[in-house]
Structure 1
């Protein structure tokens, strides 16, 4: 286990220690049977994955008190999300966390600790989808700037490979300068990302990427 992975493991454990049973969950009786609502009211670790993943994706209007429910489920959801065992896209989880007003939660800093640990662990993992993780953490926090800064400053072969591959996608698929991140495209970052790419060290961009960037700015 790398240092980055260890930091993520410790952050997840700290958040996990906040998980508790909560008040009775009241929600959509069409989508969830009484026994499922009872499970959601009990210990989060005992909720079956199928039910957990369903709740993770449902819109807030399915629940009488969505923020309280999502706060209780967040430790387990973030553990599965960061270990790639959650059958729900990260950007959708990000949208739900924002809807649940996660920054107002008691011990919200523990959620931020997980995000802060997840990003360097992603940049160190050659099998990770760095673009999707960036999209997730940027939407959760409302900004891409600190995550992009960390990425540009992480001078390892794995981080640089993730970077050049993602930049290639953004440039060649003509997603700039109108790039929007998020499951609903709710976070506009096109100008910010374009300026960030332009400031990258030259060795991180190949000739084709420099051409596309030049074309973008000329346009």
Structure 2
């Protein structure tokens, strides 16, 4: 594929030659920079060419947390490289690599970074639910599911639903609300089995307030800071902190 008409403001001639040449020879910085290109810097055919040849490299960069996961995964979507139209086996291989990255992130990434990753994955098919379904079958992930559920239920109480920077959807709340409702029995079982887990207890508290249409029992971070300082306490005194132990 000829990439010589690529934007020379964003890529040098040498970088364009790397992108068109043997994939293994392209530096990581050049590969990772593709995702930041505006939609109209490449044709649909060029986006697909670039993402098909560099998919495994880009996913490795995401897995290593060397790039913005939402920005890097966005071009798998229908307006860019359009993963849905790739050959069946190639698409399945890429989906599984993305799914494995998600499961690893569930276990090892901070929750807010996991949510950014989920937003990037949702771009692929303009749908969050297939990726949430992969979390449901993640092995030995109960405590990790609790942390994500706590994050989302407390955010729903605060009305803080601006989770996804690169997935542009009119309704980010419904898939999150439906998923948190579906995993509630898991949270309840975990809380009974681990009564010492504050994260599980806080999540049940959040469920209860959501059921009653109540307001959050926790001050929103930032607002609460000044409230606690006025009482002579550290600003972070009342912050909701998930337990690291479960």
Q: Is TM more than 0.5 here?
A: yes
Cα displacement string for residues 54-109 of structure 1 (whole angstroms, at most 9, x for unaligned residues): 22222222224332222222221122222x153x2111122111121122123222
- Taking the TM superposition and a 5 Å limit, the aligned residue runs for 1:36-115 are 36-64=15-43, 65-82=46-63, 84=64, 86=66, 88-98=67-77, 99-106=80-87, 107-115=90-98
* Secondary structure at the counterpart of residue 173 of structure 1: helix
1:135 is matched with 119
TM-score normalized by structure 2?
0.65
**Is the alpha carbon distance of 1:152 and 1:109 closer, same or farther for their aligned partners in structure 2, counting shifts above 3 Å?**
closer
- Asked if 2 retains the 8 angstrom alpha-carbon contact of 1:28 and 1:62, the reply is yes
- List gaps (5 residues or longer) in structure 1: 1-21
**Greater RCO, CA 8 A, separation 6+:** 1
Rg larger in structure:
2
Q: Does 1:162 align with 2:144?
A: yes
1:218 matched to 2:209? The reply is no
> Which 4+ residue blocks in structure 1 deviate beyond 6 angstroms?
175-178
Q: Give distance in 2, aligned partners of 1:180 and 1:141.
A: 19
Q: Which residue of 2 aligns with 1:26?
A: 5
**Residue matched to 2:153:** 171
What is the distance in 2 between the residues matched to 1:182 and 1:60? 18
Structure 2 distance, partners of 1:74, 1:120, is: 18
Counterpart position of 1:14: none
Does structure 1 residue 184 correspond to structure 2 residue 166? yes
Contact 1:27–1:63 (Cα < 8 Å) also in 2: yes
Number of aligned positions between the proteins = 193
Tell me the CA shift for residue 153 of structure 1: 4.6
**Structure 2: distance between partners of 1:120 and 1:183:** 21
Which residue matches 2:195?
none
Change (3 A) 1:143 1:66: closer
Structure 2 unpaired stretches of 5+:
192-199, 214-246
Whole-angstrom CA distance in 2 between matches of 1:81 and 1:182:
16
Distance 1:85 1:111 in 2: 18
Quick check: 2:132–2:179 contact (8 Å CA) kept in 1?
yes
